[in-house]
Structure formats: C-alpha cells, structure tokens
Amino acid sequence: MKLLRYGDPGSERPGVLDHEGRVRDLSGVVADVAGDCLTRAGLARLRALDTDALPVVAGPVRYGPAVGNVGKFICVGLNYADHAAESGMEVPPMPVLFMKATTAIVGPDDTVVIPRGSVKTDWEVELGVVIGDIARDVTPQAALDHVAGYLVVNDLSEREFQLEHGGQWVKGKSCDTFGPIGPWLVTRDEVPDPQNLSLWLEVNGHRYQNGNTRTMVFTVADIVSHISRYMTLMPGDVISTGTPPGVGLGQKPPTYLKPGDVIELEIEGLGRQRQRVVAHDGSARS
C-alpha cells in the first residue's frame, strides 16, 4: 500500500493511492495515517479494504507529510562512507544519532524557507523508516518486523548552525520546513529489500546526489535495533537513515541553496519530491 495524507496544511486527511495512481479517501476508515493505524494489526485492517469502493479525491491535491503526529524524528549521521569522507569526518564505529524537531516536518512539495541569516542551507536525500509496532531493545534479526514502511526524506541542514554554533547538530537540522517527508508511505511488504534502493537529488536540474542504499554503513535493521536499545520507538516515529555523497558542503567550492532554487529528489519505488526555495521573508528572489 501507498498511504498518504492530503489537503491543506494542518487539515490533512488520510488517503491511499489506488492501482491507477488515484488518491482514495480513508477518512471514513481511520482518523489519520498515524499511531495505531501503522501497527501490523492496523495495516492488516487497511489491506482488507476494497480500495475501489473508497471515494476518489477529485482534482489536483496537495500531498501533506505522509505520516501525522510524528512523536520522534531521529536521524543517523555519516551513514555512507563516501559522504563521511566528503564531510572530512571518520566513518563512525556505531550509528551517530541526532534528533530533528518535528516542527520541521512539511509536505514533499511544500516550499523550503532559508532561515534568517543563513548562507549554508544544504540538501540531503535520505531513506526514511516509519515505525509500526513498538520497538524496545529489539535484535537486528527482529527489527524489520517493527517497521511499517518507508518514505522519502529531504534532511535539509544549515551547516553553519550545525557545525559552527556550538552544541549538537540539532540546531542546523530543525529549522522550519527542513523536514519534507513523503509523498507517501510505502508499506514494508512492497519494499522487499530496503538495502537496494537507488536515490538521487537535483538542484535546478543538476544532479548532485546519485546513490544506493546498499552502500550504507549500517543497515535499516542495524539502525532500528541500535536506536531501540536507547529509547522506545513508537508507531509513527520516523528515522532518517543518512545520505549518500553529493551534498552542498562536499562540493568544491561548497555550494548552498539560495532563493529561487528548485530541489527535486526521488527514491526508487517511494516517490518523488519537489521543493522551491524562498528567503525567510517568503520571497523567491535570486
């Protein structure tokens, strides 16, 4: 299944993509694509539905964040060896974890706002993992049983805030609009191998990132297991699993986003995002 949320910001309704690519309304079945809806039992109930009997949503729709009421947005840093190298950092012996504020979450095609005073806003295409059943100190062998599905994440980052403003990376990761997720959540049964997905990102038509999840240092199973040792993962929590090389920080010279830029990114089988970049005052001037 491809679960989604559509409608105006803050008023999204749950939906599902049918076999012809049309959005079908799920609001008569579930309140949101969130929480218990994402457990194995919740997804089994949705799979039992006759999708063709659900109302078709007419006209072009805005896709909202594919998951609602996200409790935790956890990110993994330096999880591709070649990205660690372009960042001038060592490959870590275990996953590097940091949090991204849930207030950063927006829809996949929503506007990205460069924060006040920013000159180093950067892009990162990443595989997102959505937790289904509660995961508490699970083994790598059992970890994927606790995954509801996968989605596209643009882990936008302000490198000066992240690396030069002291403290942890969270400062550079949590600005408003820095967490586009979606366009939909693809359930785990439709992604047989999360470690073999191509992913890419372009800015203004120039491809900067072009990778595959098979080059991750730590697999999705490793990551879910590792995080669950330190905190309980709840239904709807989102984990962003790291980015391949090609970020702006790693260019020679470094290249960062500016108002008027257009970002496009895609992960094989999980959909595509497109964001226009504007200044913090809402303008798209170059």
Q: Is it true that the peptide bond before 180 is cis, omega within 30 degrees of 0?
A: no
Backbone angles phi, psi at 217, to 5 degrees: -70, -45
> Comparing C-alpha atoms, which of 245, 120, 130 is closest to residue 171?
120
The band of 166, judged by pLDDT with boundaries at 50, 70 and 90, is confident
Number of domain units in the chain: 1
193 pLDDT above the threshold of 60: yes
Q: What's the pTM?
A: 0.95
Residues 6+ apart with CB under 8 A from 116: 280
Q: What percent of the chain has pLDDT over 90?
A: 89
pLDDT tens digit string along 122-151?
999 999 999 999 999 999 999 999 999 999
> Comparing C-alpha atoms, which of 117, 124, 201, 194 is closest to residue 161?
117
- Tell me what pLDDT residue 76 has: 96
Q: Is residue 43 part of a domain?
A: no
Q: Is residue 15 part of a domain?
A: no
Burial class (CB in 10 A: 0-12, 13-18, 19+), 268: middle
The whole domain housing 224 covers 68-278
Across the chain, mean pLDDT equals 95
159: Cα separation from own chain's centroid? 19
Q: Is residue 247 part of a domain?
A: yes
Q: Is residue 149 part of a domain?
A: yes
pLDDT tens digit string along 62-105?
999 999 999 999 999 989 887 878 778 788 899 999 999 999 99
- Tell me what pLDDT residue 285 has: 64
Mean pLDDT value across residues 26-52: 97
286 pLDDT above the threshold of 60: no
Label residues 209-227 b or e (16+ Cβ within 10 Å = b).
Answer: bebbbeebbbbbbbbbbbb
Query: What's the CATH code of the domain at 140?
Result: 3.90.850.10
How much helix, strand and coil, in percent to the nearest 5, is found in the chain?
A: 20, 30, 50
Q: Is residue 192 part of a domain?
A: yes
The 3-state DSSP class for residue 6 equals strand
110 pLDDT above the threshold of 60: yes
- Tell me what pLDDT residue 91 has: 82
- Tell me what pLDDT residue 102 has: 98
| 201 neighbors 208 (Cβ within 8 angstroms) | yes
Q: In what order do the strands lie in the sheet with 96-99?
A: 23-25, 13-17, 2-6, 185-187, 147-154, 125-131, 238-240, 73-77, 96-99
Q: Is residue 137 part of a domain?
A: yes
Q: Is residue 128 part of a domain?
A: yes
The band of 169, judged by pLDDT with boundaries at 50, 70 and 90, is confident
Mean pLDDT value across residues 220-225: 98
Q: Is residue 91 part of a domain?
A: yes
